[in-house]
Amino acid sequence: MSVDEDKIVRKMVAEIADSNEKFMGQSQDIENFKRIVPVLLEKGIDNVNLSMFDEVTKSKLLNALGEEYIRRGNMNDSVKAFILAGNRQRLVEVGEHYEEVGLFSNAIDTYRLADANEQLLKVGRKCLENGHFADAIKSFRLCNDAESLTKVGDECFQKGKWDYAIEIFSAINSQHKLVEIGDKCLRERQIGYAAKAYELAHDKEKLSSLGDVCLREGLLATALKSYQQAGNDMMVQFIRENFGNKLSSY
């Protein structure tokens, strides 16, 4: 705010305080603060400076601003205002609004800001039931819920959602599940996914076996990378010496 704007807002707040002996506890406060909200809206939540006010006054102004943003349908800025006000309850309610209209990622972000683990678990389960795997993963990871993540990972595995399954089992450090994914992907000739799963599982034996398969099928670059990750120096040397002209970029 400019100096003049600061003076105007200060004067308005002082007038409100003087006219209300029970300033701190009355519901009328929000109505009174709405007189200041247009000034704050004009500045925008990212630019407004309320450092001249005490914490209680600042919180009331930010809450009034957040409510006005909601009234205008500007949910993103309402979230910013309620964060600054430390209003977890209203953040949860905004998250519930996002959830109701199917904006699950926004809901999850808002619940995270509110530190609302119960709501995160609830929306995560809803996302899983409706096949929104990315959002379910995001929610359960924020809760550090390994059991639910494993359930999502198993479902993704059954449906062949390899990216999600690998991401989950890597996140919870489940090497045997990653190897299981790698084996299935290799059987289905999903070589890239198999390589990624074995790499994240740090299974040198599986990586070396993958290198053998790739070498037989003429996938020299993948074979070389697999042998390198497996620490199979003999086969790395074999490929370089016999197929070096085809691997000039390695």
Please indicate, yes or no, whether the overall pTM of this predicted structure exceeds 0.85. Answer: no
The two three-digit tokens of residue 248, written as one number: 């000039």
**Tens of pLDDT, residues 213-244:** 999 999 999 999 999 999 999 999 999 998 87
Q: What is the pLDDT of residues 122-141, one digit of tens each?
A: 999 999 999 899 999 999 99
* Average pLDDT for the chain: 86
164 near 135, Cβ under 8 Å? no
Q: Which of the listed residues 59, 86, 113 is the one where a domain comes to its end?
A: 86
CB atoms within 10 A of CB 163: 12
pLDDT value, residue 32: 62
Domain that holds residue 17: 1-86
pLDDT band at 54 (very low <50, low <70, confident <90, very high): confident
In a domain, 113, yes or no: no
Which of 46, 69, 86 represents a domain boundary (last residue)?
A: 86
Cβ atoms of 208 and 177 closer than 8 Å:
no
Domain assignment present for residue 159? The answer is no
Provide the token pair at 48: 């407004």
CB atoms closer than 10 angstroms to residue 25: 8
